[in-house]
Amino acid sequence: MDGREHQEDVTLACADTRDRLQGYLDGTLAKSESVAIFLHLRDCGGCREEHEHLQAMFSMLDELPQLPVPDDFDARILDSIPLAAYREMEPLRRDRVPVFLEESYLPAWLRDARTRLAGLSVTLAAVIAVAVADQPQPLLLAAVVGAVPEILVRCQGWARQATLAWRRAEN
């Protein structure tokens, strides 16, 4: 385009305008950029023509006709769906929980009833001793540590139940 044929725009050159025309038509430019292009198009015949051409192309691209789908399109697809497999998998899928909520995630020795009972015994003894001890801090620590296996197993169980209830409600 010959710059002498129209009023020179001082804020945006023709090359810049044309480079941004797509964004202008898509509406993805910043407001200030859009305004600058709008003003440039008002004054520049060449860029206006380019804009109109691009706009026509966009409009045509959006209007490409949708072709009819062949009548026999679905049959092969529907025949291939592994419906039985999905139905068999459903109970397993519904009862699936994150791996850290699986019972086997905690070590067997920690889940063992004897470990938990021993831990709770330590906790109970420590709590009783706290009442008569001059320095209760170590005993309090022992009480907490003793309860850890039981707390872990209980919390995991509650979280698993809550997850399963949520999954079933969701489905």
Partner 1 sequence: MFDRRQDLKTIRRCKRGEEDAFKEILERYRGPIYNLCYRMTRNAEDARDLGQEVFIKVFSLLDRFDENYAFSSWLFRIATNHCIDHLRRNRLRFLSLDGGVGQDGEEYEIQLPDGGPEPDTVLQRKEALQRLDEVIGQLPPHYRAITLLRHDQQLSYDEIAEVLHLPLGTVKARIHRARNLVQQMLKARAYDI
List contacts with partner 1 (CB under 8 A). 22-23, 26, 28, 53-54, 56-58, 60-70, 73-74, 76-78, 80-87, 89-90, 93, 170-171
Alpha carbon distance 79, 81 (integer Å): 6
CB of 95 to partner 1, least distance (A): 13
Minimum distance, C-beta of residue 59 to partner 1, in the bound complex (Å): 9
Q: Alpha carbon 161 to chain centroid distance? A: 24
Longest Cα separation, the chain: 102
139/122 Cα distance (integer angstroms): 10
Smallest separation (angstroms) from partner 1 to the CB of 3: 22
Our CB check for partner 1 shows the closer of 10 and 99 to be: 99
Pick between residue 2 and residue 26 the one whose CB is nearest to partner 1.
26
Q: Which of 158, 161, 152, 160 is nearest to 111 (CA)?
A: 152
40: closest CA among 57, 27, 24, 56?
24
| Contact (CB, 8 A) for 117 and 147 | no
Q: How far is the CB of 13 from partner 1 (least distance, A)?
A: 18
Give me the least distance between CB of 82 and partner 1, in Å please.
6
Give whichever of 81 and 113 is closer to partner 1, judged by the CB atom.
81
Q: Where are the alpha helices (DSSP H) in 27-136?
A: 31-43, 45-62, 73-80, 83-94, 108-111, 113-132
Give 32 or 82: the residue with its C-beta nearer to partner 1.
Answer: 82
What single DSSP character describes residue 171? -
Which residue lies nearer to partner 1 by CB, 87 or 114?
Answer: 87
